[in-house]
Copies of this chain bind each other. A is one copy, B any other.
Amino acid sequence: MDYPSLYLEKVINEFAKLPGVGRKTALRYAFYLLKEEKEYAHALSSSILQLKEEIKLCKHCFSISDTEECNVCKDEKRDHSLVCVVENIREIMAIENTNQYRGIYHVLGGVISPIDGISPKDIRINELLQRIEKEDIKEIILALPTTMNGDTTCFYINKLLKDKNVQVSILARGVAIGDNIEYVDEITLGRSITNRLPFEKIYSN
């Protein structure tokens, strides 16, 4: 497609690099920018720069933060002996939104994936071991994706922590709330029967 302006073409090229954005959507964004007041373009532009320039990784858990120490690690009311190990910051945000978790986190920054050439030393497993040495951690909850790579990473970490005095747990597997039983995949359904719970336990929260 020919564009009437090089500036328009440039902004479309940049927008189209965003995930899920094609040239048509990028054009739509560009027209919106043209239509809106100058202030919006300035606000969007500077917020993009600030995100990249100002954001830090928490020195303890490697979550993103505006300060050296993230809000979760800073919070003395939280249980610092309970560490939830996640792949990314997204999972922290999802777990925080449940309002059910009062421990702290550790962000691996990925999972072991031989196909993509990601080995244990490429993700923050060493940093996790160091934290277990230094801090008074009693339990690790592995909240990694339930994929082959996620499972591999869980097994690897579990093996490493065998001799340490740390309890290793994983998230409960089972039927999701709102699931129609007939559509639940057989592995999940099988596990949810094997790991069935006393009735009172489900409704205790």
CB of A17 closer than 8 Å to a CB of B: yes
**Chain A interface main SS type:** helix
State the number of copies, please: 2
Give 1 or 0 for each of A138-154: 1 = CB within 8 Å of chain B CB: 00000000000000000
Known A-B contacts A18-B29, A97-B1; A7 and B38 likewise in contact (beta carbons under 8 Å):
no
Residues of B within 8 A of A48 (CB): 11, 14, 33, 41, 44-45, 48
- Whether the Cβ atoms of B11 and A20 lie closer than 8 Å is no
| Residue A50 lies at the interface, judged by CB distance under 8 Å to chain B | yes
> Which B residues touch A63, using CB under 8 A?
4
The answer to whether B51 touches A41 (Cβ under 8 A) is: yes
The answer to whether A52 and B66 touch across the interface, beta carbons within 8 angstroms, is no
Which residues of A come within 8 Å of B, CB atoms?
1-8, 10-11, 13-15, 17-20, 25, 27-34, 38, 40-55, 63-66, 70-72, 88-90, 92-93, 96-97
